[in-house]
Amino acid sequence: MTTAPHRPLLLLDVDGPLNPYAARLAQLRGYRAHRLHPAIWLARQAPGSRSHRRGLRVRLNPAHGPRLRSLPYELAWATTWMNEANEMIAPAIGLPPDLPFIAWPELFATDPDGLYWKTRPLLKWAAGRPFAWVDDMITDLDETYVRDHHDAPALLVRVHPRRGLREADFTTLTRWATTVLTEERPLP
């Protein structure tokens, strides 16, 4: 007997994919600028300074929320924003305010094998489930590690921090999830 698999996870980073922080143009088509105060950023600002008061400029595209919700995934945050992504990013782009998030054990930890600091905790959090991970810092080393250490299907999507998520990325994510969902899997 077979059963349809659970929808794969879509693990989303904020800065890079949703907030193209390295964009050269102040006004990106479809994006709106927001001034936000994430705790991790505030901790690096001098209290009372102009930047501390004004907040971090974040560019977000409100069309991304409906597009992400329409994908055949279970959405989750894989960002340093952690739960603050639910509080600050989700309302700005139309995502639910209660998405699961990875609570990183240590931010920006140095990996002994040179992996991106998110890779090992992300695999542990995914707990053997199929996932697509969208981030601007994924490397070839991370792709190899995931392929060698994760038994379920996984797709790593590198998004350029100047451009953010683009139509081609949504197409890739849709095709991959459709393939995963159509595979028959035996019951355990």
Q: List, for residues 78-97, the tens digit of each pLDDT value.
A: 999 999 999 999 999 999 99
Identify whether the C-beta of residue 71 lies closer than 8 Å to the C-beta of residue 174: yes
pLDDT digits (tens, 9 = 90+) for 91-116: 999 999 999 999 999 999 999 999 99
The whole-angstrom separation of Cα 8 and Cα 169 is: 16
In a domain, 172, yes or no: yes
Both tokens assigned to 92: 């700005």
Q: Within 10 A of 135 (CB to CB), how many other CB atoms are there?
A: 24
In a domain, 52, yes or no: no
Identify whether the C-beta of residue 165 lies closer than 8 Å to the C-beta of residue 16: no
Q: Number of structural domains, the chain?
A: 1
pLDDT digits (tens, 9 = 90+) for 15-53: 999 999 999 876 788 999 999 999 989 989 999 899 889
In a domain, 36, yes or no: no
Q: Which pLDDT does position 3 carry in this prediction?
A: 43
> Residue 167 belongs to a domain with what CATH number?
3.40.50
Where do runs of H (alpha helix) occur along the chain?
Answer: 39-42, 50-54, 64-70, 84, 90-93, 119-126, 140-149, 167-182
In a domain, 154, yes or no: yes
In a domain, 32, yes or no: no
Instruction: Check: pTM over 0.85? Answer yes or no.
Output: yes
Domain residue limits at 164:
2-22+61-186
In a domain, 85, yes or no: yes
Q: Within 10 A of 79 (CB to CB), how many other CB atoms are there?
A: 25
In a domain, 92, yes or no: yes
Specify the residue for token string 């001098």.
Answer: 46
In a domain, 117, yes or no: yes
Q: Which pLDDT does position 5 carry in this prediction?
A: 53
